[in-house]
Amino acid sequence: MEVIGINLPESIIEDSLKAGSSFPFETKTSFQRDFENLNKPDERDLFGGSILRLGEQYGVDTLVTRYIFNELQKKKDFF
């Protein structure tokens, strides 16, 4: 599968879900750890902003990403 010049295996979704399901429940992602540290930049723009910009550029609906991105922004701004 190739999207905008990025080659991904056809099984990328299944592989990613399988890898994630092997982690213990209490495992935090680097994004979670960064987000909890108010003095540290996090990956919000990488994982949210990039998806929103690419969705807009290619006409792909990103309502869920936009909702999550906005909610995370509100939480970060609150602290």
pLDDT single digits (tens) 29-75? 888 888 888 787 888 888 889 999 999 998 999 999 999 999 988 88
Domains of the chain, start order:
2-78 (1.10.1040.10)
Mean pLDDT of 11-15: 94
Task: Please give the pLDDT value at position 3.
Answer: 63
Q: What's the rounded Cα separation, in Å, for the pair 29 and 35?
A: 10
Exposed/middle/buried for residue 48 (C-beta within 10 Å: 0-12, 13-18, 19+): buried
Q: What's the rounded Cα separation, in Å, for the pair 73 and 33?
A: 16
Task: Please give the pLDDT value at position 41.
Answer: 81
